[in-house]
């Protein structure tokens, strides 16, 4: 299905890219506000946003969190080496973990990069040493604590 979706996706024009910048900065922007900012009709903005959703360009809308204020004071990137050809299985198991925020299959010295947010270092330790390292396909892990992070705003 992903291949079918990729084949039917139309190229983005300057208006589409402007709409995406606006929605990335403010996912709650109204269709009217989007239309006014890109100088198109509301009907056109509505149709374009729906097409971007249907084509899979927009995968959803979310809120940017302050993890500390949300009770997730410890964040870490965890690198994993996994058994060859086990990516799909590992991805499903990692996605089910509490606090998992981002999972990527990467190249280089490790296979998977996982971003997690937990309540504190004790919870982080439990997550890594008990939950992640008990996954049979995980060969090794390395934990990189996040001391500070900054969400980057989309291009103007």
Name the segment(s) of the chain with CATH classification 3.30.70.920.
Answer: 74-146
Greater model confidence, 32 or 61: 32
CATH class (in words) of the domain with range 74-146: alpha beta
Least confident of 2-11, 96-105, 130-139: 2-11
Name the segment(s) of the chain with CATH classification 1.10.10.10.
Answer: 2-54
**Structure tokens, 25:** 């900065």
Q: What is the pLDDT of residues 64-97, one digit of tens each?
A: 777 777 777 899 999 999 999 999 999 999 999 9
Q: How much of the chain exceeds pLDDT 70, in percent?
A: 91
* pLDDT at residue number 153: 63
Residues 22-56 as b or e (16 or more Cβ within 10 Å = b): bbeeeeebebeebbeebebeeeebeebbeebeeee
Strands in the chain per DSSP E: 74-82, 100-105, 112-118, 138-146
The second-level CATH assignment, the architecture, of 2-54 is Orthogonal Bundle (1.10)
Q: Give the separation between CA 117 and CA 98, rounded to whole angstroms.
A: 8
Instruction: Please state the pTM of the whole predicted model.
Output: 0.71
CA–centroid distance for 73 within its chain? 19
Q: What is the pLDDT of residues 122-133, one digit of tens each?
A: 999 999 999 999
């Amino acid at each position: 299905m992903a291949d079918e979706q990729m084949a039917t996706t139309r190229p983005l024009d300057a208006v589409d890219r402007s709409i995406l910048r606006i929605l990335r900065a403010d996912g709650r922007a109204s269709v009217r506000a989007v239309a006014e900012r890109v100088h198109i009709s509301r009907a056109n903005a509505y149709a374009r946003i729906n097409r971007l959703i249907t084509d899979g360009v927009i995968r959803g809308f979310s809120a940017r969190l302050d993890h500390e204020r949300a009770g997730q004071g410890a964040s870490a990137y965890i690198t994993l080496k996994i058994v060859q050809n086990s990516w799909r299985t590992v991805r499903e198991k990692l996605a089910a973990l509490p606090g998992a925020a981002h999972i990527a299959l990467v190249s280089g010295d490790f296979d998977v990069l996982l971003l997690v947010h937990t309540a504190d270092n004790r919870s982080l330790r439990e997550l890594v040493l008990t939950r992640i390292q008990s996954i049979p396909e995980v060969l090794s892990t390395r934990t990189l604590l996040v001391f500070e992070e900054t969400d980057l705003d989309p291009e103007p």
